[in-house]
Amino acid sequence: MKIRTFLFLLISSPALLMSAQVDLPTMGWSSWNTYLIDINDSLIKKQADAMVKSGLKDAGYRYINIDDGYFGGRDPKTGQLLIHPTRFPNGMKPVVDYIHSLGLKAGIYSDAGANTCGNMYNNDTIAANVGFYGHEMQDAEFFFNTLGFDFIKVDFCGAQSIGNRQHRCYEPQERYTAISNAIKATGRDDVRLNACRWDYPGTWISDVAASWRISEDIQNEWKSVKNIINQSLYLSPFAGGGHYNDMDMLEVGRSMSPEEDRTHFGMWCIMASPLLIGCDLTSLKPETLELLTNPEVVALNQDPLGLQAYVAKRDGDTYVLVKDIENLNGNVRAIAFYNPTDEPKELSIDFSDIQLGGNVQVRDLFARKDLGKKLTSFSQTIPAHGLGLYRLEADERLMRGLYEAETAFLPTYQELYNPIAIGTPTHDQDERCSGGVKVTRLGHRASNDIRWRDVIVPDDGDYRLSFRYLADKKVRLYVQANDGEATQLNLDPSDGFETVEVVMPLKKGDNEVRLFNEYQWLPELDYMKVEKISE
């Protein structure tokens, strides 16, 4: 290629421009799933060696993360954190240096409170009073400047009243913000913080962490994988900009069936979860290595747009998920056909439902095989507990008409506290709704609104926005597009779902549509439809 054409491509491709800006999901290995607290320096070094020798490093895996089990208490006089005297007899520095000498990055673990989870649940008595609480700056300096770690997972056992013997109980936002500030104060701006609070914490987490756990600990069984996938289906609006929902460390290569391992890994990839391998890298089965290094599946996870897929179609218990890859709103998208049921199922998608038009070239990413061009729709039989992942390249990108409420950004959404008690929205199952899900408990505060932040239209002009809702009493609804004036809609009580419409100007490209009412609760919402009004 001539240099001039190449430069033009570089400048004109948003994906390439974005790749410079967005951190991609962390890829690496973590000690917890296989070894729990039974870790030591030679074990960690052997895993680092295996990461390189196996080819995993070349496939993009970089971080060697030491989880719970390395603590050796604190010096009672200085408060200095100590390293376990027999598991890491030479301290941590040589281990970190060794990891770095292999061209890898090193990760460590702590707690937002005083004790670690291993202290509470794995009887690691030496790990009392070793968490960040009261030692934020001292520990951050030690981890990131003295030892040179590049990543930290911060757990929450010691900060919960039931999780520590002192019955300490702290606010996650306050704790993670203090820890994030302490990390910034070390002068290191490249450290990745992972918040481990076991439920989606709230939208504030994107300001403090690179990734955050959304579920309880993964177990080495299909039921657990399926549960975690369920919990992440409607979290895509909260990932982005280099910040990710963490579906937990991988159980791939331990003892699930090959089909389940593929589904587990493939879903973590399309959902842009961090990929932290949890098995023993020194005894990888060939099929495990092949799966973990499949370049086309890994590329879905490391796509420069850094997006999490959202549910485009639900049919019974099966799902089709979709996300843009390579270019925002371009002709290429990736889809997942996800069958968590115990029977094989035929899954299908009409291309118009995922905004692809004309001929669509389909590529099977697991098999790394082109399946040819398809027109209008595509279907496949997916085995029980199975997954199909496909790259679709279409002649045209069509305008999106349907925006489910459960794919919108909800600024107050959180899973830590009882949403009824504190008045925050939830994604609720309702078979009367398209996709089987609605959003409830919006409104009553200006900030408790709903925002579709990705309403992309082809031209400036007037558009009809229709909202499908269920109102149990008279209610006002305000609709605002971008920074424009809001329109007030007056809704009457209804027995079933109704639709209300408004015409609003939208601008060519990206728009945000917002519904709010700071005094009253909003109706339950199923979806928004967007149509261009023809001239």
Using CB under 6 A as the criterion, which residues of the chain lie in contact with ligand GLA when the complex forms? 32, 67-68, 116-118, 155, 196, 217
Smallest distance from the beta carbon of 244 to ligand GLA, in angstroms? 16
**Exactly one of 217, 315, 350, 510 is catalytic; which is it?**
217
Q: What is the DSSP letter of 237?
A: G
The angle subtended at Cα 19 by Cα 324 and Cα 395, nearest 5°, is 35
Going by C-alpha positions, the residue among 39, 84, 95 that lies closest to residue 280 is 39
- For residue 429, the SS3 value is strand
Question: In this structure, are residues 253 and 426 in contact, taking their beta carbons and an 8 Å threshold?
Answer: no
**CA–CA separation, 488 and 485 (whole Å):** 10
User: ∠ CA 475-476-478 to the nearest 5 degrees?
Assistant: 145
Burial of 364-396, coded b for 16+ CB within 10 Å and e otherwise, reads: ebbeeeeeeebeeebebebbbbbbbbbbbbbee
Q: How far is the CB of 76 from ligand GLA (least distance, A)?
A: 24
Give burial (CB, 10 Å; 0-12/13-18/19+) of 293: middle
Q: What is the DSSP string of 372-406?
A: EEEESEEEEEE-TTEEEEEEEEEEEEPPP-EEEGG
What H or E segment, with its residue span, contains residue 453?
strand 450-457
Q: What does the alpha-carbon distance between residue 63 and residue 30 come to, in Å, rounded to a whole number?
A: 8
Alpha-carbon dihedral sign for residues 149, 152, 155, 156? positive
Q: Which is nearer to ligand GLA, 274 or 388 (CB)?
A: 274
What is d(CA 179, CA 144) in angstroms, rounded to the nearest whole number? Answer: 12
Residue found by looking up tokens 């639900």 in the block:
314
List beta partners, residue 339.
386
Instruction: Choose between 224 and 407: whose C-beta lies nearer to ligand GLA.
Output: 224
Cβ proximity to ligand GLA: between 32 and 390 the closer is: 32
How many whole angstroms separate alpha carbon 261 and alpha carbon 436?
27
Query: Do 156 and 113 meet the contact criterion of CB atoms below 8 Å apart?
Result: yes
The active-site residue out of 68, 124, 139, 155 is 155
CB of 416 to ligand GLA, least distance (A): 15
Q: Is 49 a catalytic residue?
A: no
Catalytic, 261? Answer no
Residue nearest to ligand GLA (CB): 117
Q: Which is nearer to ligand GLA, 113 or 237 (CB)?
A: 113
Number of H helices, E strands in the chain: 14, 28
Instruction: Count CB neighbours of 89 within 10 A.
Output: 10
Please report how close the Cβ of residue 149 comes to ligand GLA at its closest, in angstroms: 15
Cβ(62)–Cβ(105) under 8 Å?
yes
Judging by beta carbons within 10 Å of its beta carbon (0-12, 13-18, 19+), is residue 429 exposed, middle or buried? exposed
Cβ neighbors of 45 (< 8 A, separation 6 or more) are 95, 98, 99
Amino acid at residue number 299: A
Q: Provide, rounded to whole angstroms, the least separation between the CB of residue 247 and ligand GLA.
A: 12
Q: Which residues are known to be catalytic?
A: 155, 217
